[in-house]
Structure 1
């Protein structure tokens, strides 16, 4: 069943916000880093991983969540953070390393944390599995509502943390969902060269839980499948595993030459860009018209512009702040 009209509009707008946000970040990232590239230079220091192309996964799942539900994400987190409702201005400021950032500029883009909407991410592969399972356990032990969702990449299923967390979630029948974003590449290693099976959802059988793979990077199909497993978790029926076929239109990181991709792969992916595809589908099916979509796109652009302005104009943290908010023996 397709999402309602209002949900479709929400999904589309958040996909556009994510794309426009990352386009802005990508442009700014190289300021001060040319002609000789130095990752530490410019207004946005460090690595940068973009999620262009993977937006359907975030909105399809997060459309079913509220701020009390927990989400953990990966080193490629912007689309999920935006769909979960992370404060956009503070997230931008965090990426810029500013005092007004979510963590005062300490975490950067791979360690976004917003307690107000229960969102966190990590640059460590599969690291979000344990905290998400722990959050699900806390809700069950306290008899509180809410589910926990861990987003991971397809390469993370080969980490021990994945198996350990999935096993405990199944043993304890926790309100937990693992969502695998299968973009076919673990950095520069193809899934076919690193993983023994083509469908990671089949791993669910090892834990006695439901598993499903959704093909085609289709936001409506993702929304339907996510709704089923999240409802199941809320009903107390335990965890589930979803693997979602998606793709990244950018490299693994900013500056990635992507020489590992087969010739023509990127061109083919851009032909399947999910944002214009969803736009055309909504118009064809009568759930939106040109003026409505133009208004959503304009609002998205304005939000991003305001967030980037806030980040640029925010103050840098004081040097002495480096030792605050740090646990010491």
Structure 2
């Protein structure tokens, strides 16, 4: 089978290779991958900013395809079923424990830049019928994370969500929040992206290049109340503003560190507003299954900004690593 290996923690260290097609053991399935999608996790792995990988390795956590072979003891699945394997295959449900954290696709286990991959059958989720393989490949990390954010904040018709940026998780969160009836505010430095966000249902938008104090603007737009959910993607530079923009008893859902990991923060607003600062490590298979069910029920379509061929993986990584270029997700087709 054809695959792409990352030979070192560098964005130019990709090589094409050929390996024997693996065979599934007991409780496993062989998946013929058709598409993969990039997350900032993959950039962190490829730049040495994320612990765990041993090089050379097959990168990219998220992918989608169809079952090509069943191992012994596998029930409930058939050859030809369209599936997505989850990023953390051992985390089925409940609270994350150290033993469940070890297996991570595209980090400590083979990722999605290969024609075939063997995964535990228990890690699979069915692809909603209306989605293509490319669209489905965006679900495991981004949709799961966004779903957990919306559910964590218990969004409803009287709630407001403030979403930082227009990357994959933020756009999924926009779609899920609107499906829950919430009002949504989206920030970006691009008027064109904000227009696209409004086309997906965003009620209010803030260009943070024009309005650097976007937290103050968010408070103004909510009549001083703030947002019940703030999707915090930036880290060092944005975290204090996210706390400021949050409503009483609101949730600051921390998913990223685009500007660093060590913010300086005044804890008094967290205490006074009784905020919930919720960290996130993607989520269990059960959360992916729930997100996929919501996508099927509401006929939501993941937003793909651009697709790349498998041989153009370095270009895809460079596009994502540059920051601020994409709207939604970047996909790699597996040929």
Whether these two folds match at TM > 0.5 is: no
Q: Write 1 or 2 for the structure with the bigger share of helix.
A: 1
Q: Write 1 or 2 for the structure with the bigger share of strand.
A: 2
